[in-house]
C-alpha cells in the first residue's frame, strides 16, 4: 500500500517536505488514533475538577497532528522535522501539574530527546551525501551506494541513527527519562507517552533499518550485533528493575523500557517472523501499556494510593477495573490466548531460525526470563487485590468509578484478548510487508 507522495513545500531542491501513506504508516497512524481517542475520552473524567485542561487539550491535540505527520513522512528530513516537533509538543504533557518534580522530569525528557536527535542528525548528513535520494524505499536507499571507501562511515552513521531513535524507545543507557517522566505526568499523558510516543522512536528505527540502510547492509555487521546486545540487556534489566520498584507508575515505566526493547530486538534479528512479531508487539504493547497506565490513574484518582503494596483488597472495591488490569497483565506476560503471546512467539521463532550466532538462543532465553519477571511484578497486584486474606482490615467499600475513565480501560482489555484470539487480522498483513522489506 504505497500511495502517491504529496509535497507540502521544499526546503531546497533535494529536500522536500513530503508525505506518503505506505503499509507501515497505516499501522502506526491507526494505533495512534485509537489510543489518542481512548485517552482523550478518559481525560474527560480524569480532569473533571481541574482548571488547566485547555492548555493540556491544546498540546494533546497538537501532539496528535504532529504524530500523524510523522507516521506519514515520505523522506528522512520530513520525518526528522516532525520527530523534533513531537518532542516539543509532548513536553507540556509531562509538566502539566507544574510541580518541581514534573518540571525537572520534563527537562530531563527534553535533554535526552535532543541528545538522541543530534545523533540522528549526524547520520542524516552522511546519508544525504551518499544516497541519490532520502525518500523511504523498501529494502533501503543506500543499496548500491556503499563502496569500500564510504562503508565505514555509513555504518557508523546508521548505528548512531539507531541509537538516537532508541533514546525515545527507552533502550539503555538513555532510558531514565521514561522512569522520571511517567510517575509525574497525568495518567492519560503517561498512557499516551508509553503507548505511542515511545513508538515514534521504534518507527525511526524501522525507517532507518528497512527503508534507508536496507537489511543487507546491516546484516552480520557490528551494527546488528551491538544493537541486539543492548536490546537484550535492556529487556532483562528493565524487567528486573520493574520487579523491584514499589511505585506503581515507575514500575510500569520500567516495564515499558523492557518491552520496547523486545521490539528493537525483533527488528534487528532481520527475519520475517521476528519482524512480524516486532510490529505485532508495537500494536499490542500500545494497547496493553496504555490500559495499565489508565488503571494506575483510576487508582490514584479515586484512592490516592501510588504504591503496589497499598493495593491490597482493590478487587473488592473496584472489581471491573481490576479484572481489566488482570487481562491486560496476562497479555503483557504473554499467556495464551492473550495478544502478547502471539508477538513473543514470533519473536522467539524468528530468532531461532536466523543465523545471528549466540543471540539466536540468548534472545529467546532472556525473553522467557523477562516474561517470568513480568508475571512477578504484575500478578501479585491481582492476587492481593482479589484475595487480600482473612487478616485484611483495610477499606472494603466499593468505589463507583467514573464511566469516562472505566470504559476506555475495559475496551483496551477486551482488545488485548480479541487480538490474541484472532491474530490473523494483523499477521497476514504483516507477513506481506515483511516479504517486501526482506
pLDDT tens profile 162-203: 999 999 988 888 888 888 888 888 889 999 988 899 999 999
Residues 6 or more apart whose Cβ sits within 8 Å of residue 274: 265, 266, 267, 346, 347, 349, 350, 351, 354
**C-alpha cell belonging to residue 246:** 514499589
CA–CA gap between residue 257 and residue 253 (Å, rounded): 6
Residue 104 falls within a domain, yes or no? yes
Q: Quick check: 1 pLDDT over 60?
A: no
Average pLDDT taken over every residue of the chain: 89
pLDDT over 90, % of the chain:
55
Non-local CB neighbours of 275 within 8 Å, separated by 6+ positions: 266, 267, 269, 350, 430, 433, 434, 437, 438
Per-residue model confidence (pLDDT) at position 224: 94
If you average pLDDT over residues 135-155, what whole number do you get?
A: 81
248-261 confidence digits (pLDDT tens) = 999 999 999 999 99
- Asked whether residue 250 is domain-assigned, the answer is yes
Res 313: pLDDT: 82
Contact 140, 210 (CB under 8 A): yes
Q: 264 falls in which pLDDT band (50, 70, 90)?
A: very high
Is residue 69 domain-resident? yes
Q: Is the pLDDT of residue 51 over 80?
A: no
Q: Is 335 a member of any domain?
A: yes
Torsion of CA 175, 416, 236, 233, to 10 degrees: -60
Grade residue 95 by pLDDT with cuts at 50, 70 and 90: confident
In-domain check, residue 251:
yes
Q: Is residue 350 part of a domain?
A: yes
Cα(280)–Cα(384) distance, integer angstroms: 31
Q: What is the pLDDT of residues 147-157, one digit of tens each?
A: 777 888 889 99
| Whole-angstrom distance, CA of residue 280 vs CA of residue 100 | 38
Looking at residues 60-72, what average pLDDT do you find? 94
Ranges assigned E (strand) in 46-152: none
Number of domains in the chain: 1
Binning the chain into helix, strand and coil, the percentages to the nearest 5 are 75, 5, 20
Measure Cα distances from 77 to 125, 192, 293 in Å: 10, 25, 33
Identify the pLDDT of residue 2: 59
Residue 394 binned pLDDT confidence (cut-offs 50, 70, 90): low
Q: What pLDDT band is residue 302 in, cutting at 50, 70 and 90?
A: confident
Question: Is residue 1 in a domain?
Answer: no
pLDDT score of 15 more than 90: no
Q: Is residue 119 part of a domain?
A: yes
The pLDDT value recorded for residue 131 is 79
Which segment of 131-140, 316-325, 373-382, 415-424 scores lowest on mean pLDDT?
131-140
Domain containing residue 390? 6-437
Amino acid at each position: 500500500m504505497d500511495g502517491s507522495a504529496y509535497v507540502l513545500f521544499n526546503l531546497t531542491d533535494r529536500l522536500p517536505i513530503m508525505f506518503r501513506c505506505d503499509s507501515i504508516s497505516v499501522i502506526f497512524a491507526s494505533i495512534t488514533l485509537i489510543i489518542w481517542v481512548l485517552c482523550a475520552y478518559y481525560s474527560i473524567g480524569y480532569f473533571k475538577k481541574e482548571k488547566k485542561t485547555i492548555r493540556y487539550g491544546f498540546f494533546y491535540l497538537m501532539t496528535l497532528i504532529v504524530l500523524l505527520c510523522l507516521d506519514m513522512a515520505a523522506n528522512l528530513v520530513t520525518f526528522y522535522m516532525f520527530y523534533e516537533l513531537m518532542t516539543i509538543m509532548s513536553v507540556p504533557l509531562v509538566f502539566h501539574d507544574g510541580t518541581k518534580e514534573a518540571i525537572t522530569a520534563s527537562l530531563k525528557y527534553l535533554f535526552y530527546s535532543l541528545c538522541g536527535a543530534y545523533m540522528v542528525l549526524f547520520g542524516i548528513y552522511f546519508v544525504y551525501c551518499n544516497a541519490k535520494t532520502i525518500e523511504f524505499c523498501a529494502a533501503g536507499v543506500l543499496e548500491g551506494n556503499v563502496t569500500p571507501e564510504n562503508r565505514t562511515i555509513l555504518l557508523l552513521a546508521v548505528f548512531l541513527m539507531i541509537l538516537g531513535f532508541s533514546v525515545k524507545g527507552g533502550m539503555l543507557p538513555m532510558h531514565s527519562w521514561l522512569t522520571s517522566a511517567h510517575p509525574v505526568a497525568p495518567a492519560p499523558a503517561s498512557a499516551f507517552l508509553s503507548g505511542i510516543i515511545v513508538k515514534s522512536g521504534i518507527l525511526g528505527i524501522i525507517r532507518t533499518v528497512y527503508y534507508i540502510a536496507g537489511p543487507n547492509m546491516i546484516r552480520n555487521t557490528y551494527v546488528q550485533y551491538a544493537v541486539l546486545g543492548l536490546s537484550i540487556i535492556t529487556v532483562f534489566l528493565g524487567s528486573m528493575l520493574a520487579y523491584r520498584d514499589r511505585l506503581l507508575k515507575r514500575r510500569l515505566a520500567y516495564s515499558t523500557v523492557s518491552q520496547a526493547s523486545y521490539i528493537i530486538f525483533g527488528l534487528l534479528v532481520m527475519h520475517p517472523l521476528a519482524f512480524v512479531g516486532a510490529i505485532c508487539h508495537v500494536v499490542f504493547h500500545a494497547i496493553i501499556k496504555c490500559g495499565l497506565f489508565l488503571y494506575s490513574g483510576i487508582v490514584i484518582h479515586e484512592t490516592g494510593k501510588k504504591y503496589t503494596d497499598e493495593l491490597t483488597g482493590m478487587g473488592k472495591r473496584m472489581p471491573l477495573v481490576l479484572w481489566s488490569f488482570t487481562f491486560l497483565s496476562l497479555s503483557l506476560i504473554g499467556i495464551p490466548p492473550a495478544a502478547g503471546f502471539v508477538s513473543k512467539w514470533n519473536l522467539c521463532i524468528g530468532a531461532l531460525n536466523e543465523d545471528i550466532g549466540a543471540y539466536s538462543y540468548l534472545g529467546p532465553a532472556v525473553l522467557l526470563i523477562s516474561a517470568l519477571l513480568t508475571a512477578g511484578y504484575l500478578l501479585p497486584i491481582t492476587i492481593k487485590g482479589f484475595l487480600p486474606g482473612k487478616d485484611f482490615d483495610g477499606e472494603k467499600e466499593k468505589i463507583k468509578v467514573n464511566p469516562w475513565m472505566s470504559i476506555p480501560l475495559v475496551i483496551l482489555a477486551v482488545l488485548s484478548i480479541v487480538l490474541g484470539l484472532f491474530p490473523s487480522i494483523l499477521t497476514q498483513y504483516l507477513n506481506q510487508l515483511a516479504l517486501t522489506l526482506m
